[in-house]
Amino acid sequence: MRTPLPSTQALACFEAAARHLSHTRAAQELSLTQGAVSRQIIALEQQLGVALFRRTRHGVLLTEAGQQYARQAARWLQELRQGTLELMAHQGEGGSVALAAVPTFATRWLLPRLPLLAREHPDITVHIDVQTRPFLFADTTFDAALFAGTPAQVERWPGVSARWLMHEDIVPVCSPQLLAQAARRSPGRAWQPVAAQALAELPLLQQSTRPQAWQQWFASAGVQAPRALHGPRLELFSMLAAAAAQGLGVALIPPLLIEEELARAALVVACTQVAQRERAYYLITPEQPPTPALARFADWLAQAAGRA
């Protein structure tokens, strides 16, 4: 026998009541009566054969089973809402890609290139949310992820396929004024990179998610730098870029994330020594076959990365 599926009305009532821990507030949100919400939830509990709420003198509380089912119901309803909106928007043509992405790469590299995607594939819509760490696709509504990490990190991500896009080259950058100070030159002259040893004397900007980046960079350059761990700690590359442009110090940043700043000389390369290529950017997808929209987006993304 086929397992009977709960109605979307029952799931919507349960999810709203679980979120508010109140049948009354769920009824207000759904424009129903409190009695209608209660009847839907009671019918759902009878269908499942499991108590989802525990009634108390002060209201309702979720049982352990109810907590787990509420998370699943919220995800199911979100997927259903998104799928319905996508079908209505595209009228059955094209499709969309729900993409999880590391924030600076999405903002600085991907978004400026999306107009090209729109011209080449006008029927594909890309939705982007921030996600910096591996996750289980089954627990989310994402179709794919843009991930920056090492090959070992990618290999430890279960149940996925990884498509290499590009290496993450990292170079030290700073404001022209700070570089002129390091080289004892006038800022009005050409901004020539300096030796790695000169950077050891300058204020350094640290990335909090990569606390040993400067130590590793100086080690690869063969330079002793006792102050390699000193300096303000910032989380995102975009924060490092803004701080470096203001002359607060030298930052280690991939050039592909600061193309605009380099083009207008708000930032300049302080030293040509490149950090070791330990990390790269990948497109991560579930192991199952992709949708047509995702397959075309993945091919376009690989081509765009090859042109970068």
Query: Does the domain made of 171-269 have the CATH classification 3.40.190.10?
Result: yes
Which numeric CATH code is attached to 8-87?
1.10.10.10
Domains 95-168+279-307 and 171-269 share a fold: yes
* Mean pLDDT to the nearest integer, 88-105: 78
* Cβ atoms of 37 and 23 closer than 8 Å: yes
- Confidence class of residue 189 from pLDDT cuts 50, 70 and 90? low
Taking every pair of Cα atoms in the chain, the longest distance, rounded to a whole number of angstroms, is 82
Class of the 95-168+279-307 domain? alpha beta
The C-alpha atoms of residue 167 and residue 224 are separated, in whole angstroms, by 27
Measured CA to CA, the distance from residue 255 to residue 107 in angstroms comes to: 14
User: Is it the case that residue 97 has pLDDT exceeding 70?
Assistant: yes
Share of the chain above pLDDT 70, in %: 93
- For the chain, what are the domain ranges? 8-87, 95-168+279-307, 171-269
pLDDT at residue 181, as a whole number: 80
Kindly state the tokens that stand for 52: 């989802």
What residue type is assigned to position 256 of the chain? L
Q: In what order do the strands lie in the sheet with 171-174?
A: 251-253, 171-174, 268-269
pTM: 0.66
Contact 232, 243 (CB under 8 A): yes
Lowest-confidence pick of 81-90, 92-101, 131-140: 81-90
**In whole angstroms, what is the distance from residue 27 CA to residue 12 CA?**
10
